[in-house]
Amino acid sequence: MTNDPKTTEVCYVKGVGETRAKQLNKLGIKTVSDLVTHYPRGYIDFNNISSIADAPQDEYCVVKARVFSKLSPYYGNIAIYRALVSDGTGEMIIVFFNTKYSFQRLKTGEEYCFYGKAGGNILRREMNSPIFIEAERQKFLMPRYSLTQGISHNMISNYIRNALNAYSFPEHFSEDFLSEYRLMDYNDALKKIHFPASAEEYQHAKRRLTFDELFLLQLGLKSMRNRKKILTGAKMANKDIKAFYSSLPFELTGAQKRSIRECIKDMQGDSPMSRLLQGDVGSGKTAVAAAACYFAYLNGMQSTLMAPTEILAAQHYDTLRGFLEPLGVKIALLTGSETPAKKKAVRKAIADGEIHLAIGTQTLIQKNTVFANLGLVIADEQHRFGVEQRAALSAKGENPHTLIMSATPIPRTLGMIIYGDLDISTLDEMPKGRLPVRTYGVDSSYHERLYKFILKYAENGFQSYIVCPLVEEGISEKASAVNYIEKLQHTCLKDVPTGLLHGKLRASEKDEVMRKFKDGELMLLVSTTVIEVGVDVPNAVVMMIENAEQFGLSQLHQLRGRVGRGSEQAHCILVTDNKSEFTKARIDTMVRTCDGFEIANEDLKLRGPGDFFGSRQHGLPPLKITDIGSDLELLEETRQAADKVLASDPLLQSPDNTGLKKMVAELFDDCYDA
Ligand code: ADP
Ligand code: MG
């Protein structure tokens, strides 16, 4: 048994043991360190007192009142204990069920702070099973933790106290650093975040721990990025790409031109480009990618573009051939479903350098794909690919340039963190003449009318999507989609050629359905949420989304982006019977704007950034204590602090920074040394 809290299993903490350790594991708590960094998700502030008369009905609040009398218990199926309390503005009955112990702690004549839901009615207020403390401890903030089966607040709180007493959590910053950034000692901060004696103590502890989190995150991302400032084997020379501009069937937007300039400048640098191209659906990312490929071609280098699905790869193949073949660029498509003979031939042409641009799926990554001289790697719809997959593709060249395309707009503040290791180009301007999608929010009484609307379009040769809901809990995604199609058989849409997409289809089956839809063999596509990102069907003009309340704003925006890609006015109909304020706010936002960045900001406000962090897709460590919405100032401060450390030690190699380097490596698991 070691004494390092980072490696010591939680079962060794006094009072925990094997059984509880298993339960704690479910909360992600494996080691002693995990336990003490299981931060409270909120606190009960016993200072924030409501009078009994004004206690908000059916909401949680704190009431400070004196026990007037304890009523005689009622013993039925369960024992009910009641006490009458009063605070001068009114009286209230405090009720406990089966918890004699809590009841006994209350002393007649004494004053307490009770936290709970104020129920009952104006004449007779009631609070069931409150949490309470003696009134003189009122300054105390009581932590609330995420719990799991078998683990109560008291247990967690005791375990944490025992761990803090038994183990030491060494300070990882120097004294100078602590005083420069006005930070409390690490050990103190851990104690005070769990057992704050006052709001001020909590604030200081929270600041210290948030600082750690944001600082280490940025230190890691930035030092990884410094490491990328290796030399590229694909340094390019300035070439004139005028021929590309004049061969396009349209005038590029200002944002497209700017992004192209940014890429071209990067590719002439000594170190490889690491750039994210972000732009809303339809903003024209493909043309920017094409320009970059053309520039590589003029420099005698190969490019490769990886798409997450076959259908997207095929679509890029068609588009890019249109843009680039007239200029002499030879393009090949390499996907899993090609015959082995065809694949072999394509691979040979790539290896011989006859192909200038290889487009494909993950098949590109396979060992037997070899490039003659790969200079540029492009990954489309970035969130589908892991960091490793991109790295595998890059390994096929000599530190080639990388461009990642994403249609998920990220608010700037988040982008700074999430893509801390990338430069960002933003397509914030739509091609001219695009009609914004008209968006409506309706309830399910509109169904008949909506189906007629879709039918009318189908009769005029325009296609539609319906995103069907997951109706009931327990019913599979596939079953609910199939049920929905069944239901459509009893509506005016019964004769419209309809396809079905759901998550249980094999990739090749999905591609087949998408292809038929793209080719116009199907006029209506009923789908669960698996509609392929990025598939371009300009002829689809109606998007109807059932149970719209089940989707996040950004998701709704992505779905809406499937239509409105042609010149015909497109419509998006959000169907929901949910009347909550939250749903209403989201629907209103969707109706009001088609701007992906504005929507991303609203989403962040409404839901918080939980979606972005802790999901493996970004390869980022979860944020345990930071609240991106309100910790903006610290974000800036920690960014500067990280820059300052790295200015003198870009790769964290100095002995002074060994401790920091170790912490960063732990934070990023294995990624850091990859
Ligand atoms: P996304 O950013 O969603 O990948 P695409 O690159 O697929 O967008 O472009 C969407 C559509 O807009 C395509 O049909 C493309 O040819 C067209 N397009 C791109 N740029 C322009 C432009 N500057 N003017 C007009 N149409 C454009
Ligand atoms: Mg695209």
Q: What is the 3-state secondary structure (H, E, C) of 191-224?
A: HHHHCCCCHHHHHHHHHHHHHHHHHHHHHHHHHH
The CATH number of residue 10's host domain is 1.10.150
- Count of domains in the chain? 4
Least Cα distance to 87 among 117, 58, 54 occurs for 54
Same-domain check for residues 10 and 158: yes
Tell me what pLDDT residue 21 has: 95
Contact residues of ligand 1, CB 6 A cut-off: 250-253, 256, 279, 281-287, 407, 431, 534, 536, 565
Nearest CA to ligand 1 atom 5: 284
What value does the mean pLDDT take over residues 267-282?
Answer: 90
Question: Does 120 share its domain with 57?
Answer: yes
In a domain, 211, yes or no: no
Report the C-alpha gap between 50 and 90 in whole angstroms.
Answer: 11
Domain that holds residue 505: 438-593
Give the predicted TM-score (pTM) of the model: 0.68
- Checking if the pLDDT of 93 tops 80, the result is yes
Does 49 have pLDDT greater than 90? yes
Claim to verify: residue 357 and residue 478 sit in the same structural domain = no
Query: Ligand 1 mean position to 377 CA, how many Å?
Result: 20
Q: How far is the CA of 431 from the centre of ligand 1 (A)?
A: 7
Tokens of 477: 């995604």
CA dihedral 641, 646, 649, 653 (to 10 degrees): 90
The better pLDDT of the pair 309, 291 is held by 291
| Cα 505 to averaged position of ligand 1 atoms, centre (Å) | 29
Residue of 133, 1, 209, 143 lying closest to 638 (CA atoms): 209
Q: What is the mean pLDDT of residues 259-279?
A: 94
- As a whole number of angstroms, the distance between CA 119 and CA 124 comes to 9
Using the Cα atoms of residue 262, residue 263, residue 265 and residue 271 in order, give the sign of their dihedral.
Answer: positive
Boundary residue ending a domain (116, 138, 160): 138
Per-residue confidence band for 570, with pLDDT thresholds at 50, 70 and 90: very high
Residue 599 maps to a domain? no
Q: 290 and 145: one domain?
A: no
Strand order of the β-sheet with 438-442 is 438-442, 571-575, 540-545, 463-467, 524-527, 498-501
Give the model's confidence band at 199: pLDDT under 50 very low, under 70 low, under 90 confident, else very high.
confident
* CATH number of domain containing 72: 2.40.50.140
Tell me which residue has its CA closest to atom 15 in ligand 1.
284
Burial class of residue 175 in the structure, from the number of CB atoms within 10 Å of its CB (0-12 exposed, 13-18 middle, 19+ buried): exposed
Residues 317 and 262 grouped into a single domain: yes
**Closest-lying ligand 1 atom to the alpha carbon of residue 283:** 2
Both tokens of 423, joined, read 């430069």
CA of 249 to the centre of ligand 1 (A): 11
446 with 408, same domain: the answer is no
Ligand 1 pocket, mutate which of 286, 315, 429 (most atoms under 8 A from CB): 286
My answer on whether 296 and 311 are in the same domain is yes
Least confident of 194-208, 228-242, 323-337, 626-640: 626-640
Looking up residue 468, the CATH number of its domain turns out to be: 3.40.50.300
Cα 168 to averaged position of ligand 2 atoms, centre (Å): 52
User: Does residue 307 lie in a domain region?
Assistant: yes
Residue 674 has pLDDT above 50, yes or no: no
Do 10 and 33 sit in the same domain of this protein?
yes
Question: For residue range 110-122, what is the model confidence (pLDDT) as tens digits?
Answer: 999 999 999 988 7
Round to whole Å and give the CA distance between 515 and 526.
14
Contacts of residue 670, Cβ cutoff 8 Å, sequence gap at least 6: none
* 399 and 481 part of one domain: no
Query: In 10 A of CB 482, how many CB atoms?
Result: 16
Q: Give tens-digit pLDDT for 526-551.
A: 988 766 555 778 899 999 999 999 88
Task: Work out which ligand 1 atom sits closest to the CA atom of 279.
Answer: 2
- Residue 470 has a pLDDT of 66
Residue 191 scores a pLDDT above 90: yes
pLDDT over 90, % of the chain? 54
Using the predicted structure, report yes or no on whether residue 421 has a pLDDT greater than 70. Answer: no
**Domain endpoint, select from 552, 570, 593:** 593
Reference 493, options 524, 536, 468, 534; nearest CA is 524
Bridge partners of 392?
none
